[in-house]
């Protein structure tokens, strides 16, 4: 090392530095892509979670409506009333011979509509109860089980009896778990008073029906798991013993419903087993495919009313992400190739530059470093991203959109009559208007959208994965919000804006053409009276 020239030593040290920097560049970009991918999976998982919750509520409501339909039949009301009176006269519970006859009469009335409900609405349970202790009078789906009290087990039923009002939700009973709707049954009368109250009727269905509705729109597969501890608190002992034989538990959970038998093999994987215990989202390779898994707690009727109550199970969803992983790996390969090519080119240039003048290179690096330090990412007044960062971001977003066949929309927003505001109220208040406008824009946009200060009173919005129609709707909501709010301390409606909206063309037109089209649309909004949204499209 002592015999090497200063130029050679500088070259070697710089080469080492560049090699480390390139490796760090590849690693940082890969980690950023992984983080981006994980965030994408978590957003998709949240969508799956929300979709499941909405469909669960809709299914429970359909069951409640189904029960209401049966409960509204006068002949059913009369038969149920006779059965309740007979059971009470014969000592309560299952009652005696008169209660049995009334139960059979009610069953005959229900058979035809019950079959229709099973065939057309996938109703799996129909259950009549009465009395303060939620006594089972007739399980149409299990006619050999009746007379047991459900207080402390079936809270939808108990609450419906107590409050004489409809209830719905997921809940486990003595025999089966289901998505249920409970409605009060009154004698035929305009007066739904306590004197006319007979009992309640419950309709229910299984999670399988819900999963069949969910899987196509969500592009995911599902399994509903119930904890053995919860089933032990609700099921008849003999029913639980039979269930264990038919459907052995896995880590303390029973597979309540799924359309995919491979779920038992998936649950045997250690990472998925831990995910079921802790909830969250992961991705891993299963066999030859990369899969994403998400798990979230399953709460029953009581859990929906009390967030502190422990969940009764878990919902596991999984989806194929092979294509996403392929993109991630392709980006990694691209980054490596780019880093290697950049390293080779820079090495050649560095070597040539060092041969000519080492001090010139040092001066160039010093000047570039100073320029980078001076370039701030944010606008000092508004806090939005500035024009320097806009240029960098737009080119990057444009390249990503072109590479992944994605779209995005661009909006140029210009405050109306801003010069008049400065002239009349002064530049300090004008700055306050710009600050308040920027804060409002940031507060109204979605998490994925970005806002930039484009010029003096101009702002530019970038809306990723957004078509022009949705972008126009977002801008119209923002425009109306500005019109209603006081900005910069001025009266509501004093500060308005004109919006020009356009969408990236599939032909991947030049970026300056895209921005020019948004600018033209904004000026069209100005020409058409200001305080409006105009859009501009291109012919494919």
Which 3 state secondary structure label does DSSP give 168?
strand
Q: Does the annotation mark 457 as catalytic?
A: yes
Q: CA-to-CA distance for 517 and 527, rounded, in angstroms?
A: 15
**Size of the chain, expressed as the number of residues it contains:** 540
CB-CB contact of 72 with 183 (8 Å)? no
Q: CA-to-CA distance for 242 and 254, rounded, in angstroms?
A: 12
CB-CB contact of 488 with 438 (8 Å)? no
Tokens of 101: 């006859």
Backbone angles phi, psi at 475, to 5 degrees: -65, -35
- What is the per-residue DSSP string for 391-445? HHHHHHHHHHHHHTT--EEEEEEEETTHHHHHHHH-HHHHHHHHHHHHHHHHHHS
Q: CA-to-CA distance for 415 and 525, rounded, in angstroms?
A: 11
Separation of first and last alpha carbons in the chain: 63
Alpha-carbon radius of gyration of the chain: 34
Which 3 state secondary structure label does DSSP give 442?
helix
Q: CA-to-CA distance for 34 and 51, rounded, in angstroms?
A: 25
CB-CB contact of 125 with 176 (8 Å)? yes
Q: CA-to-CA distance for 436 and 442, rounded, in angstroms?
A: 10
Using the structure block, give the residue that is written with the tokens 């590849």. Answer: 26
Neighbours of 15 (CB within 10 A): 15
Q: CA-to-CA distance for 513 and 5, rounded, in angstroms?
A: 52
Q: CA-to-CA distance for 256 and 179, rounded, in angstroms?
A: 12
Question: Strand 177-186's sheet: what is its strand order?
Answer: 135-139, 125-130, 197-205, 177-186, 167-172
Q: Residues with Cβ < 8 Å from 155, sequence gap 6 or more? A: 171, 301, 302
- What is the per-residue DSSP string for 316-346? EEEEE-HHHHHHHHHHHHHHHHHHHHHHHHH
| Active-site residue identified among 171, 202, 397, 457 | 457
Which residue numbers are catalytic? 457
């Amino acid at each position: 090392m002592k015999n090497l020239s200063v130029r050679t030593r500088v070259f070697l040290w710089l080469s080492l530095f560049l090699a480390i920097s390139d490796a760090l560049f590849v690693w940082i970009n890969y980690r950023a892509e992984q983080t981006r991918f994980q965030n994408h999976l978590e957003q998709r998982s949240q969508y799956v979670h929300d979709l499941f919750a909405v469909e669960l509520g809709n299914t429970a409501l359909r069951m409640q409506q189904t029960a209401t339909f049966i409960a509204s039949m006068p002949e059913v009301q009369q038969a149920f009333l006779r059965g309740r009176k007979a059971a009470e006269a014969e000592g309560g519970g299952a009652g005696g011979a008169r209660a049995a006859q009334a139960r059979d009469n009610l069953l005959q009335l229900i058979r035809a509509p019950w079959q229709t409900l099973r065939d057309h609405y996938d109703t799996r349970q129909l259950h009549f109860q009465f009395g303060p202790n939620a006594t089972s009078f007739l399980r149409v789906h299990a006619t050999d089980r009746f007379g047991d009290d459900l207080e402390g087990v079936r809270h939808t039923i108990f609450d419906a009896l107590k409050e004489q009002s409809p209830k719905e939700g997921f809940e486990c009973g003595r025999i089966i778990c289901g998505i249920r709707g409970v409605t009060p049954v009154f004698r035929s009368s305009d007066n739904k008073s306590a004197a006319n109250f007979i009992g309640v009727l419950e309709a229910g269905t299984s999670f399988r029906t819900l999963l069949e509705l969910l899987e196509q729109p969500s592009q995911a597969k599902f399994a509903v798991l119930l904890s053995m501890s919860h089933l032990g608190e609700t099921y008849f002992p003999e029913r639980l013993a039979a269930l264990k034989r038919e459907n052995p538990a896995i880590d303390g959970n029973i597979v309540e419903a799924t359309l995919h038998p491979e779920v038992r093999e998936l649950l045997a994987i250690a990472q998925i087993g831990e995910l079921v215990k802790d909830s969250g989202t992961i991705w891993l390779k299963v066999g030859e495919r990369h899969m994403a898994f998400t798990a979230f707690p399953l709460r029953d009727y009581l859990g929906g009313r009390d967030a502190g109550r422990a969940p009764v199970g878990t919902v596991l969803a999984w989806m194929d992400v092979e294509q996403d992983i392929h993109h991630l790996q392709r980006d990694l390969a691209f980054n490596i190739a780019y880093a290697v090519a950049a390293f080779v080119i820079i090495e050649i240039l560095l070597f040539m530059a060092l041969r000519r003048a080492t001090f010139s290179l040092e001066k160039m690096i010093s000047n570039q470093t100073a320029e980078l330090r001076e370039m701030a990412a944010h606008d000092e007044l508004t806090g939005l991203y500035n024009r320097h960062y806009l240029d960098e971001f737009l080119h990057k977003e444009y390249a990503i959109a072109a590479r992944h066949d994605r779209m995005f929309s661009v909006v140029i927003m210009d405050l109306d009559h801003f010069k008049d505001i400065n002239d009349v109220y002064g530049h300090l208040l004008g700055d306050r208007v710009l600050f308040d406008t920027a804060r409002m824009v940031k507060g109204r946009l979605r998490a994925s959208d970005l806002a930039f200060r484009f010029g003096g009173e101009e702002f530019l919005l970038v809306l990723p994965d957004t078509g022009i129609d949705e972008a126009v709707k977002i801008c119209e909501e923002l425009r109306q919000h500005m019109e209603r709010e006081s900005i910069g301390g001025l009266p509501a409606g004093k500060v308005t804006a004109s919006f020009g909206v356009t969408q990236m063309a599939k032909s991947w037109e030049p970026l300056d053409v895209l921005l020019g089209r948004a600018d033209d649309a904004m000026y069209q909004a100005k020409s058409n009276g200001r305080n409006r949204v105009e859009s501009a499209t291109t012919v494919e």
